[in-house]
């Protein structure tokens, strides 16, 4: 069984998967599985009150779980795939919905896109302990988390900086975290 098949199997079983993105190396889980999401918070060493963003494979996949219109749609068309997370109104019930919203992003990394196409949206966080700098590749993530992560997809995150986060539920949108997109 190849690494991508192991990753899909781990996600289906409620596991945590390490995945490279265009920004930082991440840890991903099924956003509809409460136990998997809780496990991700525990690995991270962070309380469950901190929202987890969701990676999607495309704008079309994003539109299946959230309202993407107006300024959010324009920004998605301009910056996806890429390092821009857009906070928008959720249209589905997922464990990671926070106050009716989801932070969505389409990563610009082939391994991440393959996984998202094959599995669907994934809740993610940077592969690091809360308050520590994020790691940039699978080897550093493996050194940090070992067997606590069920599968690691090999690769490097070339960006090295977390995504820009913009709350598009406000008018005008509010910058929540500065990042690569100005």
Q: What pLDDT digit, counting tens, does each position of 3-33 carry? A: 999 999 999 999 999 999 999 999 999 999 9
DSSP conformation class of 148: G
Domain ranges of the chain: 3-177
Q: What angle, rounded to 10 degrees, do the helices at 3-12 and 110-119 form?
A: 40
Burial grade of 160 (CB within 10 A; 0-12, 13-18, 19 or more): middle
CATH of domain 3-177: 3.90.870.10
Q: What is the pLDDT at residue 49?
A: 78
171 CA to centre of own chain: 24
For 125-174, what is each residue's pLDDT tens digit?
A: 999 998 899 999 999 999 999 999 999 999 999 988 899 999 999 999 99
């Amino acid at each position: 069984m190849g690494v991508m098949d192991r990753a899909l199997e781990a996600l289906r079983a409620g596991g945590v998967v390490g995945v490279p993105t265009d920004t930082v190396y991440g840890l991903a889980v099924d956003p509809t599985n409460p136990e998997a999401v809780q496990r991700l918070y525990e690995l991270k060493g962070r309380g469950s009150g901190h929202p987890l963003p969701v990676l999607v494979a495309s704008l079309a996949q994003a539109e299946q779980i959230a309202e993407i219109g107006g300024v959010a749609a324009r920004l998605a068309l301009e910056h996806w795939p890429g390092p821009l997370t857009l906070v928008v109104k959720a249209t589905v019930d997922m464990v990671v919905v926070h106050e009716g919203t989801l932070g969505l992003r389409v990563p610009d990394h082939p391994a991440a896109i393959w996984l998202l196409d094959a599995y669907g949206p994934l809740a993610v966080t940077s592969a690091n302990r809360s308050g520590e700098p994020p790691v940039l590749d699978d080897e550093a993530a493996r050194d940090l988390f070992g067997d606590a992560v069920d599968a690691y997809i090999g690769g490097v995150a070339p960006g090295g900086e977390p995504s820009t986060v913009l709350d598009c539920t406000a008018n005008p949108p509010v910058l929540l975290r500065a990042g690569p997109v100005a």
